[in-house]
Amino acid sequence: MADEKSSFPYGVEKEPISLEEGSAPPSQVMKHANDADEAMKAFRDGEIDVIDEATNKRLLRTIDLNIMPLLCVVYGLNYLDKTTLSYASIMGIKKDINLKGDDYNWISSMFYFGYLAWEYPTNRLLQRLPLAKYSSFCIIMWGLVLCCMAAVQNDSGALAVRFFLGVFEAAVTPGFSFFTSQWYTKAEQGTRTGIWFSFNGFGQIFGGLVAYGIAHGAALHGSSIAPWKIVFLVTGLLTAVVGCIFLFIMPDNQLNARWLSKADRRRAIERVRINQQGIGNKHFKAYQLKEALADPLTWAFAFYALTSDIPNGGLSNFFSQLIVSFGYTPEQSLLYGTPGGAVEVVTLIFCGYVGDRYGNRILVGASGLVVSIIGMVLIVALPLSNPSGRLAGYYLTQSAPTGFVALLSLIASNVAGYTKKTTVAALYLMAYCIGNIIGPQTFRPQDAPRYIPAEITIIVCWCACLADFGFIYWYCKHQNRKKAAFRARPNYTKLENQEWLDLTDRENAEFVYTI
């Protein structure tokens, strides 16, 4: 057995399930069967449903109609609620609560301190508690917290509200990644992740139009409260209402989906058997935590999130001020920022589809980064006398999220074992938080209006992301070759219902990494 473990690198301080001798020890099989995935409840009779193409299409259509609209709307609000501060920054909040010097920068970053502090605990809660119910609670709470932003009177109050906004929003991205891996096959996950993430762009379009309408209406007719306060109240209350709808409609998994018949619930689980990941496991497994921390792929994901979100943190909080620096008025900046959201929507949906269609999310995601680098070079190189060209450069930078989303979908597709998946997702989003904390600090007040040091930092970060993509591509291909060689051994045997044993991607020889 010692030789077997040394030749099979996927197990962690335990015997691998698929053994060269042809069978797993009974004690090991029983251990995993007793601690299996939630999906095992649907297959205790040992029967396997055969799903024809027509049934699979019908199920996919039903799942899309019931799940995707909710994921999309909530994710759009998730982005809008974060960036309301950017709209408020040019609608009078700085003057009204007496912000000076770097106060605005720290208020921008404080959201991510809350996000960072609660990211790992919220991932553990997403595993331990009913997935949809805990997600709904967080959505409702962050909507109510955002409303409190309208009541702040100084920088201390704004810092406190932004911190708790980050705490409650910390659940949305990992939670939605789990929903995607739970309901969709690997071949479908890239497209769906791209679609719901693209609602960041819709959020930017909707938010810009709402903020412009409020600012313009207040200028024409006046208002009893400051326009920036109205922005926080409208978006916060809308989010809380959507959270209540989410609680009523979204199931925790296929087993309690009210809009599926009992037979279709089982079929909905059967169709994702091919993922080799299951649909959820509520037990914490220390060996999977250790495997996640020792896996090079984990840290490649985390490096990308950190490096790519330094630019994101700067641009998402300063895009309105950046457009003003091109020579436009504050009111114009609210309107002219919206096409950037359209660019993000189109690139994310297109790249998600093409990545799944041709089986290469990494290459397609990298193409969005190249476009973004070109856009930032235009902003740096063009003179202040060319505002249209610099604005076009800003629009091109909005294709940058294609890389982040590609890797987010790869966490859903390429990380198996529920404790390991929650750990990797937490580390990825903790790195995302750190990048977003650093990002606003690169836009120093003394560098206005050009902000050249921040813009050069953004270009360097995106180039480093391209190199990281290269490593991830090579590593996944390398691991697939090793697994294929192991499966080709003459005495290799796959266990019955191995897909539902909550194995990690490294210990399961049947698992194939998506690129």
The residues near 221 (Cβ < 8 Å, ≥ 6 apart) are none
Question: Is the residue at 32 inside a domain?
Answer: no
pLDDT at 16: 42
List Cβ neighbours of 27 (8 Å cut-off, separation of 6 or more): none
Length of the chain: 515
The CATH code of the domain that includes 180 is 1.20.1250.20
Can you give the residue range of the structural domain that contains 149?
Answer: 39-500
pLDDT of residue 376: 92
Residue 192 identity (one-letter amino acid): R
d(CA 428, CA 420): 12
Residue 390 belongs to a domain:
yes
Residue 440: predicted pLDDT: 80
**Does the predicted model carry a pTM greater than 0.85?**
no
Confirm whether 9 is domain-assigned: no
Residue 230 maps to a domain: yes
Distance of alpha carbon 402 from alpha carbon 356, whole angstroms? 13
Percent of the chain past pLDDT 70, that is, above it, reads 89
In a domain, 2, yes or no: no
Q: Is residue 25 in some structural domain?
A: no
How far, in Å, are 60, 224, 253, 271, 273 from residue 49 at the CA level? 16, 62, 18, 9, 11
Return d(Cα 210, Cα 327) in angstroms, integer.
Answer: 22
Burial class (CB in 10 A: 0-12, 13-18, 19+), 306: buried
CA 412, CA 418: separation in Å to the nearest integer? 11
Q: What is the pLDDT of residues 193-228, one digit of tens each?
A: 999 989 988 887 888 788 888 887 877 877 778 988
pLDDT the model gives residue 88: 86
SS (H, E, C) 126-141: HHHCCHHHHHHHHHHH
- pLDDT computed for residue 25 by the predictor: 40
Instruction: Give pLDDT, residue 32.
Output: 52
Number of domains the chain contains: 1
In a domain, 86, yes or no: yes
**For residue 411, is it within any domain?**
yes
Residues of the chain with pLDDT under 70: 1-49, 278, 280, 317, 496
